[in-house]
């Protein structure tokens, strides 16, 4: 095996068969950046590989820059397969022309193993591999699945999920994950088709969070242990795309998560100023902050109302009163109201009717504010016409209020439909900014009603019937397209004209006509106020509201209601919901139940019954004993046992480590569960320290439900680590794999030491995937390195990639190598170098074999015998330079031509003599000039130390020249006191000391010689006193005139 490269390059193995069998014929590295592209046509991919019927395998590592979905494209002619992290992802192992197939693979950021297998049968041969990040479409998700409940570390699974809607029950999303204690992060973008308020719902068992737009602040935060519970939130979104993130964690039991969103549409309320929810008896059940949605559910079996803001937090048998906490004006948003306008003044009542089997949503609103939300006239219709309608509407509403309501079985006075009076709420008012003719008409007629002296009703109020529809176009009981719509008898209602009233106006396309389109006039009006007629009278004849009301009703009065209508409220049914729409189950979510045969109390959630183990746990949820419903034993038995309810008080934070003083068991706190560390190794695998453990009381320990045991957290050791388990096998950690080191020789040859080995548990060791065996890691050392093995004395020089034996210590020292520079290597390492020639004595060395007088000069690895001592000395060699070695080492040098001295004249001015003669010579132009005596020697400034002693052999090569004479200017004397100056090879007597000194001579410069030698110099004229040279007389220089 050969190690897999880790830099996007593939290790390629080529086989001369189609089956990837036997040993590969060629092994090389190929590819760049984790990609392949080879088109060999009908040729051979490599020398020595067949043109047909061959196969190849490429193995390598790719590094992806981020966690994402990546599209891999594999093309081949003929068959091919692609494995990612040893998982087959593309399989086209078949004879085919060049075909490209793709596969999407989810990968976490970092390194991943890639393997491509290929075979060529006949014809053209081609293989290609490419990959790139895939951009996911909107409304799909990148799922990162973690093997822990805290979304930490490297995901064990990355994939594309079309939605976040999974019910794994007690199973697992993937075999890589456990059934419990896993987590998932989904990310992506959602496309919002139109600007609107959107209701996002996220249900989970157990923990979940939802982020929209801002991925740092959760829109829904239900990070708590729970059976499947749905949390909702409203968010206003403009048309466009938004980043989305869902975080989920499964602790124990069932695993389920579901995300949905839709335009905002059970009963869901919120308020810009926050809301309080009271029971009808005045008990405060819940307070919700600004814009927090409150979900309402009702069980007709238990006759209880349930409130939640993502989890059940309250229930009551009394109906609910929802009040806004602030705002100007205070408003309540009915988030999933099916009508157009969702904002309402006043309060909202949620009250079930067993008579009609409906859950009624009722708006309790001030009568004057109620009238401002009517949709009977339009917001800015004619003011006098609108006043007439408003007075009639106020009269109609107060009649039903003081008569106990028109809809007693549903507990409200009027509904909001055309069967009573069309009511649209505050949202309708806002269409005109709150300053409409409708609003003015209400204010101008505040408290005004229609009375009749013969009315049998309290306050002489009448039933002010009228007919109209929303908008400026009023309808009438008169003639419409030839049909008489109102023909019944008014009976004893004295305020209704018994025979009707003339209705001369006809409306078409919002215009009033005195005759219809067939030329006929309008029919008589038979019952109450005609909205169409009143509108036309007001706009065409300038009739005011008093006239209009008196025209359509007999003998009426327009009076003030005896009570202040600004302080009167009316209950308007705005949305009746059938029980079947409220709850589809006999026992709703969050119901508290027990059987008659047992005191054990349960909460019903997700079709399961969850036991409260202690009263302390029950009360920790803020529950009261009177909320518990006793149900038949068989019904209770029909529910499966769910996870026990956990303590709902202040617990230690996630990640706390706890134990009691009575036991050695150590637990990890996750949510409301305690998870046992089965062993010290598992404990430390998570990076915990023993000092992290907190001692708690047994009572506090019992507040945590028992969770599953903590698994071993595998953290691979860093690349290059040497590890072993309980066996003797030693492994190298390499790119997250472990590679077996097959022998001690390879171990040592690769430079490892036994002290580097880390012993790990087999549990840790078995978490690694195994790679190929480690082979010798041979890296040639640089030229000049000195190597030896621990088991042999031989020393080698590395030169040009070869090992050259240094056969003797004297050769080692002859090359000035240092013993401290020798590196010890394993024999396997040394064996990788081819052998070169042995290292011999360096050129210029002088050697002789032990016991033999012959001396040799080493030149070009040859030994040259030096002919004689004279030749030796004449060549400038010294006896102490001779290295004595063995005959064997000397014989390693080939014998060369005998060495003889070759004369070369020394430089001019050189001084030399022979050992057996005092005569000193000076070299002059290749000749030797004898120096007759010391005085002559010194006259030239020579130094005795500069005289070389040379052989007679060398000196004989110099021709004899005339003896050297005194240097001109020398001062000399013989035995007598006379002193002479040597000048022009003559000696000139210096007659007196005065003359001597006048010339600046020094007595110390006088050289003494013998008279015989001095007499060889001819006597010249005596030296006279020193005379200054005459000064130049420029005045005596004749003029020079150019001719």
pLDDT value for 672 = 78
pLDDT value for 482 = 32
pTM over 0.75: no
d(CA 814, CA 883): 9
Compute the C-alpha angle 799/802/804, nearest 5°.
75
DSSP string, 1002-1039: -GGGEEE--HHHHTTSEE-PPP----PPPPP-GGGSPP
pLDDT value for 543 = 95
Beta bridge partners of 41: 125
- Region 597-625: what's the mean pLDDT? 86
- Region 265-293: what's the mean pLDDT? 87
d(CA 2, CA 13): 10
pLDDT value for 681 = 87
Q: How confident is the model at residue 47 (pLDDT cuts 50, 70, 90)?
A: very high
Q: How confident is the model at residue 302 (pLDDT cuts 50, 70, 90)?
A: low
Distances (CA, A) of 560 to 198, 383, 441: 45, 20, 15
- Region 418-427: what's the mean pLDDT? 90
Compute, in degrees rounded to 10, the torsion defined by CA atoms 67, 71, 76, 82: 40
pLDDT value for 340 = 84
d(CA 259, CA 219): 13
910 CB-near residues (< 8 Å, 6+ apart): 922, 923, 948
533 CB-near residues (< 8 Å, 6+ apart): 474, 476, 478, 503, 504, 505, 522, 525, 552
pLDDT value for 736 = 74
pLDDT value for 196 = 59
d(CA 597, CA 632): 9
State whether residue 196 is helix, strand or coil: strand
Cβ atoms of 288 and 320 within 8 Å: the answer is no
Which two structure tokens, joined as six digits, stand for 549? 């009301």
Q: How confident is the model at residue 523 (pLDDT cuts 50, 70, 90)?
A: very low
| pLDDT of 460 strictly over 70 | yes
| pLDDT of 474 strictly over 60 | no
> Comparing 63-72, 456-465, 764-773, which segment has the lowest mean pLDDT?
764-773
Nearest CA-CA partner of 229 in 198, 203, 255: 203
Cβ atoms of 575 and 409 within 8 Å: the answer is no
Q: How confident is the model at residue 527 (pLDDT cuts 50, 70, 90)?
A: low
pLDDT in tens, 889-947: 999 999 999 998 888 888 999 999 998 999 999 999 989 999 999 999 999 999 999 99
Q: How confident is the model at residue 178 (pLDDT cuts 50, 70, 90)?
A: confident
pLDDT value for 311 = 52
DSSP string, 222-274: E-S--SSEEEEEEEEE-SEEEEEEEEEEE-SS-EEEEEEEEE---EEEE-TT-
- Region 745-772: what's the mean pLDDT? 88
Cβ atoms of 918 and 933 within 8 Å: the answer is no
> Comparing 15-19, 304-308, 347-351, 975-979, which segment has the lowest mean pLDDT?
304-308
Task: Tell me the average pLDDT of the chain.
Answer: 87
Cβ atoms of 306 and 339 within 8 Å: the answer is no
Which one has a higher pLDDT value, 309 or 254? 254
- Region 143-154: what's the mean pLDDT? 90
Q: How confident is the model at residue 374 (pLDDT cuts 50, 70, 90)?
A: very high
pLDDT in tens, 634-693: 888 878 888 888 888 888 888 899 999 989 999 999 877 889 999 988 898 888 999 999
Give the rounded distance of the alpha carbon of 599 from its chain centre: 52
Distances (CA, A) of 209 to 185, 248, 256, 304: 10, 7, 13, 29
d(CA 1025, CA 1): 106
Judging by beta carbons within 10 Å of its beta carbon (0-12, 13-18, 19+), is residue 72 exposed, middle or buried?
buried
pLDDT in tens, 483-517: 333 333 444 688 887 767 777 777 777 788 775 54
How many of the other CB atoms lie within 10 Å of CB of 820? 6
Q: How confident is the model at residue 870 (pLDDT cuts 50, 70, 90)?
A: confident
d(CA 987, CA 1022): 9
Which two structure tokens, joined as six digits, stand for 704? 């945590």
> HEC profile for 390-414?
HHHHHHHHHHHHHCCCCEHHHCECE
Q: How confident is the model at residue 234 (pLDDT cuts 50, 70, 90)?
A: low
| pLDDT of 363 strictly over 60 | yes
Residue percentage of the chain with pLDDT more than 90: 54
pLDDT value for 480 = 35
335 CB-near residues (< 8 Å, 6+ apart): 197, 199, 234, 264, 265, 268, 269, 270, 293, 342
d(CA 883, CA 417): 126
Q: How confident is the model at residue 312 (pLDDT cuts 50, 70, 90)?
A: low
Which one has a higher pLDDT value, 425 or 578? 425
Q: Which helix (H) or strand (E) holds 868?
A: none
pLDDT value for 486 = 38
- Region 549-570: what's the mean pLDDT? 94
- Region 458-479: what's the mean pLDDT? 60
Dihedrals phi, psi of 74, to nearest 5 degrees: -120, 120
Cβ atoms of 198 and 212 within 8 Å: the answer is no
pLDDT value for 313 = 66
89 CB-near residues (< 8 Å, 6+ apart): 72, 82, 83, 103, 105
Distances (CA, A) of 728 to 755, 757, 777, 858: 14, 11, 21, 55
- Region 134-138: what's the mean pLDDT? 90
Question: What does DSSP say about strands 320-324 and 331-334: parallel, antiparallel, or unpaired?
Answer: unpaired
| pLDDT of 153 strictly over 70 | yes
Which one has a higher pLDDT value, 467 or 464? 464
Beta bridge partners of 30: 10
- Region 813-840: what's the mean pLDDT? 93
pLDDT in tens, 528-538: 788 888 899 99
| pLDDT of 526 strictly over 50 | no
Cβ atoms of 553 and 462 within 8 Å: the answer is yes
Which one has a higher pLDDT value, 589 or 121? 121
């Amino acid at each position: 095996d050969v190690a897999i490269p880790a830099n996007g390059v593939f290790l390629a193995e080529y086989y001369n068969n189609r089956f990837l069998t036997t040993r590969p014929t060629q092994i090389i590295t190929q590819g760049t950046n984790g990609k392949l592209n080879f088109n060999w046509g009908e040729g051979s991919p490599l020398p020595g590989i067949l043109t047909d019927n061959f196969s190849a395998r490429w193995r390598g590592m790719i590094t992806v820059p981020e966690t994402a979905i990546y599209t891999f494209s594999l093309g081949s002619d003929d068959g091919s397969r692609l494995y990612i992290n040893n998982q087959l992802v593309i399989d086209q192992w078949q004879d085919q022309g060049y075909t490209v197939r793709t596969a999407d693979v989810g990968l976490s950021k970092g390194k991943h193993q890639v393997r491509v297998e290929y075979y060529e049968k006949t014809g053209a041969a081609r293989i290609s591999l490419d990959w790139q990040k895939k951009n996911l479409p909107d409304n799909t998700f990148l799922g990162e699945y973690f093997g822990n409940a805290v979304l930490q570390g490297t995901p064990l699974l990355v994939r594309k999920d079309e939605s976040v809607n999974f019910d794994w029950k007690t199973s697992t999303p993937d075999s890589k994950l456990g059934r419990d204690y896993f987590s998932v992060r989904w990310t992506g973008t959602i496309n919002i088709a139109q600007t609107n308020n959107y209701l996002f719902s996220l249900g989970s068992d157990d923990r979940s969070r939802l982020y929209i737009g801002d991925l740092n602040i959760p829109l829904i935060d239900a990070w708590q242990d729970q059976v499947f519970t749905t949390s909702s939130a409203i968010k206003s979104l403009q048309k466009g795309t938004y980043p989305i993130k869902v975080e989920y964690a499964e602790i124990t039991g069932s695993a389920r998560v579901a995300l949905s969103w839709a335009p905002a549409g059970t009963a869901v309320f919120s308020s810009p100023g926050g809301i309080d929810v009271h029971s009808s008896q005045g008990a405060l059940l819940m307070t919700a902050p600004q814009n927090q949605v409150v979900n309402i559910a009702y069980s007709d079996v238990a006759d209880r109302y349930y409130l939640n803001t993502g989890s059940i937090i309250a229930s009551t048998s009394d109906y609910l009163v929802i009040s806004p906490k602030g705002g100007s004006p205070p408003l309540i948003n009915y988030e999933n109201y099916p009508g157009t306008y969702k904002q309402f003044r006043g309060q909202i009542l949620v009250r079930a009717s067993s008579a009609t089997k409906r859950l009624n949503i009722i708006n309790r609103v001030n009568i004057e504010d109620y009238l401002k939300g009517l949709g009977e006239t339009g917001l800015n219709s004619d003011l006098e016409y609108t006043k007439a309608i408003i007075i009639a509407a106020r009269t109609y509403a107060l009649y039903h209020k003081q008569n106990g309501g028109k809809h007693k079985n549903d507990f409200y006075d009027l509904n909001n439909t055309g069967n009573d009076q069309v009511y649209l709420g505050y949202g309708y008012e806002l269409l005109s900014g709150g300053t409409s003719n409708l609003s003015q008409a209400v204010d101008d007629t505040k408290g005004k009603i229609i009375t009749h002296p013969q009315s049998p009703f309290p306050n002489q109020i009448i039933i002010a019937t009228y007919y109209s529809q929303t908008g400026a176009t009023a309808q009438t009981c008169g003639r419409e397209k030839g049909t008489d719509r109102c023909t019944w008898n008014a009976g004893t209602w004295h305020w209704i004209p018994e025979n009707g009233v003339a209705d001369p106006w006809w409306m078409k396309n919002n215009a009033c006509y005195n005759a219809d389109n067939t030329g006929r006039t309008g029919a008589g009006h038979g019952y109450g106020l005609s909205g169409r007629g009143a509108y036309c009278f007001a706009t065409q004849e300038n009739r005011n509201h008093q006239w209009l009301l008196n025209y359509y009703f007999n003998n009426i009065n327009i009076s003030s209601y005896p009570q202040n209508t600004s302080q009167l409220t009316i209950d308007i049914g705005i949305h009746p919901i059938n029980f079947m729409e409220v709850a589809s189950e006999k026992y709703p979510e969050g119901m508290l139940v027990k059987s008659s045969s047992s005191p054990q109390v349960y909460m019903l959630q997700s079709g399961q019954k969850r036991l409260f183990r202690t009263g302390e746990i029950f009360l920790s949820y803020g529950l009261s004993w009177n909320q518990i419903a006793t149900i038949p034993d068989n019904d209770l038995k029909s529910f499966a046992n769910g996870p026990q309810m956990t303590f709902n008080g202040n617990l230690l934070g996630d990640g706390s480590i706890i134990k009691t003083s009575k036991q050695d068991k150590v637990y990890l706190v996750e949510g409301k569960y305690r998870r046992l560390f089965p062993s010290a190794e598992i404990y430390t695998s998570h990076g915990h320290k023993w000092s992290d453990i907190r001692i708690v009381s047994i009572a506090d320990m019992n507040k945590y439900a028992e969770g599953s045991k903590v698994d071993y957290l595998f953290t691979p050791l860093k690349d290059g680590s040497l590890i072993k388990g309980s066996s003797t096998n030693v492994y190298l950690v390499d790119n997250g794999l472990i590679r077996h080191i097959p022998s001690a020789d390879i171990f040592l040859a690769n430079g490892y030491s036994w002290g580097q080995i880390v012993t790990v548990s087999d549990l840790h060791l078995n978490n690694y995937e195994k790679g190929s065996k480690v082979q010798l890691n041979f890296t040639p050392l640089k030229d000049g390195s000195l190597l030896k093995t621990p088991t042999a004395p031989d020393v080698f020089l590395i030169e040009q990639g070869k090992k050259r034996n240094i056969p003797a210590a004297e050769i080692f020292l002859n090359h000035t190598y240092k013993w401290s520079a020798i590196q010890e290597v394993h024999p396997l390492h040394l064996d990788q170098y081819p052998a070169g020639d042995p290292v011999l004595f360096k050129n210029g060395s002088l050697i002789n074999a032990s016991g033999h007088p012959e001396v040799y000069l080493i030149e070009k690895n040859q030994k040259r015998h030096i002919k004689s001592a004279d030749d030796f000395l004449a060549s400038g060699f010294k006896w102490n330079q001779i290295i004595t070695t063995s005959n064997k080492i000397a014989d390693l040098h080939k014998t060369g031509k005998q060495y003889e001295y070759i004369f070369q004249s020394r430089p001019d001015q050189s001084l030399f003599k022979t050992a057996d003669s005092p005569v000193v010579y000076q070299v002059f132009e290749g000749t030797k000039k004898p120096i007759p005596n010391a005085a002559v020697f010194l006259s030239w400034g020579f130094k005795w130390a500069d005289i070389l002693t040379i052989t007679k052999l060398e000196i004989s090569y110099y021709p004899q020249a005339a003896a050297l004479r005194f240097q001109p200017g020398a001062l000399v004397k013989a035995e007598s006191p006379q002193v002479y100056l040597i000048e022009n090879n003559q000696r000139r007597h210096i007659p007196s000391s005065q003359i001597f000194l006048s010339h600046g001579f020094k007595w110390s410069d006088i050289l003494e010689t013998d008279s015989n030698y001095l007499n060889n110099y001819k006597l010249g004229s005596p030296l006279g006193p020193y005379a200054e040279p005459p000064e130049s007389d420029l005045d005596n220089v004749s003029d020079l005139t150019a001719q």
